[in-house]
Structure formats: structure tokens, C-alpha cells
A and B are shown apart, each in its own frame.
Chain A
Amino acid sequence: MSDRAQRISIWFFIGILLFIYGILICGTGIYELFVPPEHPVVLAQLRPAIWWGGLLLLLGAFYCYHFAPGRSK
């Protein structure tokens, strides 16, 4: 197999990064549920960190699975 065929897809790297970011951001949002910040941002009651972080986590997990080195063509 050539070097190029063995190269890991960039989408896999993106998946890893989004997955980690999702955990960090969603985790921070959940933490703030229990320990509210001293100076909340505008519309903090919408809890954007939780749902946006969750979306990143799911997207990252999908990319990691779909473009995993063993699966990619």
C-alpha cells in the first residue's frame, strides 16, 4: 500500500478535536448548572454550552467512527 493510501483522513483528526472540545464545553456547561458564574453572559439561561458542546461531541464521535484509519478507504 502506498504512503498516500495509508494517510489518515483529515476528517478523523477533525473528529478527535471536535469530540474533545465537545466534552470540555458540554462539561463546563453542566458544571455551571451547579456553580453559576458570578457574571453570566447575556441569555445564559439558554445554556448554549450544554447543547452546543453536545452537538460538537456527537459530530466529533461520528467523524471519528466514520473516518477511523481502519475504516477509511
Chain B
Amino acid sequence: MLNFLFQRPLLMAGMPARLFSLSSVDLLIIILYFCFVLGIGFYLKKFTRTGEDFFLAGREMTAWIAGLSFLSANLGSLELMGWAGASYQYGILAAHWYWIGAIPAMLFLGIVMMPFYYISKTHSVPGYLKLRFGEPARALSAVSFGFMTVLMSGINMYAMALVMKVVLGWNIYFSIWVSSLTVAIYVALGGLLSAILNEVLQFILIWAGSLLIPVIGLIEAGGWHNMVQRISHNLGGADYTHMWRTMGSFTDNPMGIHWTGIVFGLGWVISFGYWTTDFLVVQRVLSAKDMRSAQLAPIIGSAFKMMVPFIVILPGLLGLALLPMKLLPEAQAIATGGHSYNEVLPIMLARYCGPGLLGLGITALIAGFMSGMAGNVSAFATVWTYDIYRPFLKKVKSDQHFVTVGRWCTILGVLASIGTAYLVMHFASIMDYVQALFSFFIAPLFGTVLLGMLWKRATPAGGFWGLLAGTLSSISMWAWVWIDPTALKYIALSTHARDMAENMYRALWSWIVCVIVTVVVSLITRPKEDKELEGLVYGLTKLPSSSHLPLYKRPMFWAAVVAGVFVVLQIIFW
């Protein structure tokens, strides 16, 4: 029988070691899930024989499969638990990361950038940089991506193990090893094909297991307007439910950020950098069966991305409105034995879900963690094999050899991530740490790729030095503020800025440094011949036309529909 803390006054006083126990039906649901993902991995092994099969899923995915996988790979632990916690901490402002922080960039990827990735037939984003700027730019990008991916994977594992510890009382190390080895097995067996198809399964389970929380929560709160009133009452009138109207000043909103940081830092640099150049997500789209599917996949993903706040942000807001106790920052929660912001999603799950549904909800969380991990691991295996191992270590080997390397690399990547997870345990805030990582590597990479695709005058030297300068400037700015906190007023334009605001501005500055250095170096160095840039650069690439298709089959039409809904959402929640 379940043992719900919400029925007990204990919740307000001494915190027990876990939120609840699972019944046998819950355990059965979780075990079935593990059996299915492993079974799918074993089943798909016989379909992954070549490098194209293992690293690009045979380039045969439909737009729907690629699109759902594209989004699911992003729905890791940070999305589900981290952003639910962020919405408890910052209110509806956290939804900016789903809307302006995702939708324009995803549409841009589908309409503008995907043709260049797809026509160039590259295996990876560093692979595109090699074609466009040469080997040094690829090496720098591949090494920084590998480093970031292992760190991200470690964060995912840590977050998942934390949930298992908090929710079920499971040993944190046991959770890390069981889940990560499961991912290692099914990705090593079936490669990207197995990762993608399991991500589609995980996407469905995430929704099936999470959707009940906001539905029942809104019923309990008495609807959206009553929830808003409760939050306002509980927080002494503070505005946690409007997205833009508190953005005029750093001090008017709980995030301590100005609208310029959200629009230019998040909406432009971080968002476009992540969604258009992070190989973890781009790899899923590269697996599409044709150009139209590759363009539609991010658009389909963006339509679902707009809905994710319903299962992630809304539970955090409902927690603010309905929970009888106050959740705490991570460090404070550890010190006092209380519950942290990051636990709001499992706490809401425990509030509404009885036997069976609880198992499904926990399965949704595990599925999210595993899809994120699988995304990192499969992308890491591809970049290591194609962009580091093959060009620098073993240039001439059989295709089968590289498949074997990819399989071993998957296992080694998981082991490296496990090591990282142990290190990540010492960091207080999961999400702020990840945003800092993004600004180190992703923002400058976006500058390099964007100029590479849209400006034919950009030279190999310009691409390499711009990327290096952008990355080093970002790390230097972070180190500057870490050594001297008063430097925040220069980096983030205000001493009131918080971690997330600092990350936004640091990303913006590093992108600007990257662009300026790329342009200046390009103008004083020799560009490539036009014929070398065909299929890589706007103006020198024959782009496919969709004018012969009926309107409802055109990627541009659906991108316009998604963009329209995006604008309406901004107005509704202004």
C-alpha cells in the first residue's frame, strides 16, 4: 500500500528519507518499461549493420519519427524536473525557455539551415564545419562537443538518481548504474536507430505519465484564474504569472533579468545555438528520409515543444498555489533536510497519483532521463568516431570497423558520464550549471555555423579563430565573475542579475566576439573558391522548391502556423 506523505503532518516537520513507496503494480509498470526498451534494442540490432545504419539510422526516418525523437532527446531530466523546479522558483518566466527560447530557433532550423546540413550529407555538425572551414574548426568543435556531451550526460544521470533517491529512497549510485547501463546496452546494440525509436516510445510515455498532474491540479485549484490568485496570495502579491510585463527592470521579476537578456541572450544566441547547432538534436533530423521530412521534423517538434509547459511549467505553478509547505533552494534543502525546488514534480505526482498511475508517472520521469542520456551518448559516439577517431587516429578502415568503434564508444561514453555524474553531485543548481555550459560552447558555435552558411566570404581561418575566441571569451567572462563577483555589473549589465541572467548575457557577448573575430580574420585572409562551397553556403547552393506541393504539405506553411500560435501565446500570457 502506498504511503503518502501528503496525508501526514510529518511533511511540515521532520522530513523522511523518501516521498512514497511503490506498490507491486507500480514496480511491474517500471520493470515492463525496462524490458521494452532493452527488447527494442535487441530487436533492432539486426537492422544496424552499416555505419549509416548505426550513426544515422539509415537516413530513413519519417518526419514524425524524426520530429518526435528530435524533441524527446531534449526532454531529459533537466526538462522535466529542472524546469518544473525553475517554474516554482521563477514562476511562468521559466516558460520563456520553451517558447521564445525554442520555437523561433526550431523553425529557423527547419526552414533555413536544414537544407545545408542535409544537402552536404554530413554525418555531424563538426562534419559540416570540416567541409566549410576545414579540419581545425572541426577538431575544436568536436572536442568541445564531446566534453560538453559527457558533462550533460552526467548531469542527466545525477538528476535521475536524485529523483529515485528522493521519491523512492533508492540508493543514488544504484540508480545511476542501472539506468545508464540500460541505455548503454540498447544504444550500443541498435545505434541511433534504437535511440530514436526508443525516444518515440519515451515521448509517448512522458506525456501519458505527466499529463494527469496539470489536469487534476487545475481541478483542485479551481481553474487557471483561481490558481493565479492563490499564487499571488501565497507570495504576497508578487507577479509570478506574467511573462513579459515584469521584464522592464531587473528588480521587478523573480529571475532578476531584463527583457533584452531574454530576447537577445536567450531568444537569439542560446536558443538558436542549441537548437540549430547542438548535434544531440540535429542528429535526429539528419536521419530523415528526404529533405522535406528533414525540414518538417523540427517544425513538428516545435509544435509539441509549445505544449510541453503544460506538463512541466504548470505543475511548478500549481505547486506554488497548492502545496502546504515551501520548497527550498537545493543547498538549503540539503542543509535542513527539507525538499528542494527540483522536487516539485515528483511531489505533485505523489499528491495526485495512486497505485498504477504512480508507476506510470515514475516511468515517465525515467523515460525522460533515459531519452536525454541516449541522445547524449549516441551523439557522442558519432562525433568521436567520425570527427575524432577517423580523421585523426585511423583514417583508413572498413565501415564495419567504425560500427564496432561506435559500439565501444557508446559504452565508454556512458562510463565517462557516470564519472561525471559523481562530480556533478557537488553543484548546487542543475539548470544554472547547464546554461553556463551552453554559453561556453554553443553560443560561439552558432556564430561560426551561421556565418558559414550565410556568408560565402567567411574563410577557414576566420571560422576557426572566431570559434576559438568566442569560446575562450565565454570561459574568461565566467572566471572573471567567479573571481570577482562585482564584475557582474559589466557582464550582465546589473548587480541585480542572477545566474540565469548572467548566462544569457555571457552567451550574447561570446557570440558577438565570435562573429567579430570571424569577420575580421575572414576579411584579411583568402576565401575558398565558389565551387568548393557549393552545397554548403547560401547563394551557392541549389535549394529545393516546394512550390509544386499542395499548401498543406509545404514546410513553410506549417512553420507559419506554428509561428502564429507562438505569437498568440505570448499575447495571452503577456
Q: CB within 8 Å of B: which of A1-18?
A: 3-4, 7-8, 10, 13-14, 17-18
CB distance from B441 to the nearest CB of A (A): 32
Task: Determine the main DSSP class of B at the interface with A.
Answer: helix
Which of A4, A21, A29 is B58 in contact with, Cβ under 8 Å?
A4
Q: Hey, what's the 0/1 contact readout for A16-27 against B, CB within 8 Å counting as 1?
A: 011011001101
> With the chains together, A4 CA to B355 CA distance in Å?
39
Contact with A along B323-365 (1 / 0, CB 8 A): 0000000000000000000000000001111111101100000
1/0 contact trace for B217-230 toward A, CB 8 Å?
A: 00110000000000
Contact A42 B60 (CB under 8 A): no
User: In the bound complex, do residue B356 and residue A29 qualify as a contact, i.e. CB atoms below 8 Å apart?
Assistant: yes
Contact with A along B2-19 (1 / 0, CB 8 A): 111011000000000000
| B1 touches A (CB below 8 Å) | yes
Known: A14-B200, A46-B219, A48-B216. A39 touches B355 (CB 8 A): no
Please tell me which one of the listed residues B6, B33, B47, B197 contacts residue A17 in the complex, with CB atoms under 8 A apart: B33
Indicate if A37 sits at the interface (CB-CB under 8 A): yes
Which A residues are CB-close (under 8 A) to B47?
3-4, 7
Stretch at the interface among B24-32, B383-391, B496-504: B24-32
CB distance from B403 to the nearest CB of A (A): 15
Which B residues touch A25, using CB under 8 A?
A: 25, 29, 356-357, 360
B212 touches A48 (CB 8 A): yes
* In the complex with contacts A10-B197, A13-B201, A20-B32, A41-B212 CB distance below 8 A: no
B40 interfacial by beta-carbon distance below 8 Å = yes
Give Cα A41 to B361, complex, Å: 14
Measured between alpha carbons, how far is A52 from B212 in the docked complex, in Å? 8
Are B360's CB and A21's CB within 8 A? yes
Would you call B208 an interface residue if the criterion is a C-beta within 8 Å of the partner chain's C-beta atoms? yes
Q: List B contacts of A56 (CB < 8 A).
A: 208
Residues in B whose Cβ lies below 8 Å from that of A13: 36, 40, 197, 201
B2, B65, B200, B220: the one contacting A43 at CB < 8 Å is B220
Question: In the complex, how many angstroms separate the beta carbon of A69 from the nearest chain B beta carbon?
Answer: 12
**Inside 8 A of B204's CB, which chain A residues have their CB?**
14, 18
A28 in complex: contacting residue of B25, B32, B40, B200, CB < 8 Å: B25
Interface centre among A13, A29, A32, A43 (most CB of B within 10 A): A13
B395 within 8 A of A: no
- Judge whether B352 and A41 touch: CB under 8 Å: yes
Is residue B46 within 8 Å, beta carbon to beta carbon, of the partner chain?
yes
Contacts of B427 in A (CB 8 A): none
Q: Is B43 an interface residue (CB 8 A)?
A: yes
Whole-angstrom distance between the Cβ of B357 and the nearest chain A Cβ: 5
Shortest Cβ distance from residue A13 to the other chain B in the assembled complex, whole angstroms: 6
Nearest Cβ on chain A to B28's Cβ, whole angstroms: 7
Bound: A28/B28 CA distance, A: 12
A8 to B46, CA, bound (A): 12
A28 → chain B closest CB, angstroms: 4
A22 to B: closest C-beta gap in Å: 10
The smallest beta-carbon distance between B344 and chain A, in angstroms, is 15
Neighbouring B residues of A53 by C-beta, 8 Å: 356-357
In the bound complex, what is the Cα–Cα distance between A40 and B60 (angstroms)? 48
Beta-carbon contact of A17 and B351 below 8 Å: no
In the complex, the answer to whether B351 meets A42 with C-beta atoms within 8 Å is yes
Q: Does A61 reach chain B (CB closer than 8 Å)?
A: no
Cβ B351 vs Cβ A10 within 8 A: no
A49 lies within 8 A of chain B by Cβ:
yes
CA distance A48 to B360 in the complex (A): 13
Least Cβ distance of A64 to chain B in Å? 14
Are the C-beta atoms of B352 and A37 separated by less than 8 Å?
no
In the docked arrangement, what's the CA distance between A20 and B197, Å? 19
Taking the closest CB of chain A, its distance from the CB of B293, in whole angstroms, is 15
Q: Nearest Cβ distance between residue B494 and chain A, in whole angstroms? A: 41
Cα–Cα distance between A66 and B69 once the two chains are bound (Å): 21
Q: Is the CB of A43 within 8 A of B352?
A: yes
Within the complex, what minimum Cβ distance (angstroms) separates A36 from chain B?
10
Which of A7, A20, A40, A42: most chain B CB closer than 10 A? A42
Residues in A whose Cβ lies below 8 Å from that of B4: 39, 41
- The answer on a CB contact under 8 Å between B200 and A42 is no
Q: Which residues of A contact B360 (CB under 8 A)?
A: 21, 25
Counting chain B CB atoms within 10 Å of each CB, the highest count among A18, A41, A44 belongs to: A41
- Could you say which of A8, A46, A49 contacts B356, with CB atoms under 8 Å apart? A49
* Residues in chain B near residue A4, CB distance under 8 A: 47, 58, 60
Question: Smallest distance from the beta carbon of B47 to chain A beta carbons, Å?
Answer: 6
Q: Complex formed: what's the CA distance from A24 to B212 in Å?
A: 17
Q: What are 19 A-B interface contacts by the 8 Å CB criterion?
A: A10-B65, A10-B200, A17-B205, A21-B208, A25-B25, A25-B357, A28-B354, A29-B356, A37-B1, A39-B1, A39-B7, A43-B352, A44-B354, A46-B219, A48-B216, A48-B354, A48-B357, A49-B355, A52-B212
- Which are the 5 A-B pairs with shortest beta-carbon distances? A28-B356, A25-B356, A10-B197, A39-B7, A39-B4
Interface residues of B (CB under 8 A from A): 1-4, 6-7, 25, 28-29, 32-33, 36, 40, 43-44, 46-47, 58, 60, 65, 197, 200-201, 204-205, 208, 212, 216, 219-220, 350-357, 359-360
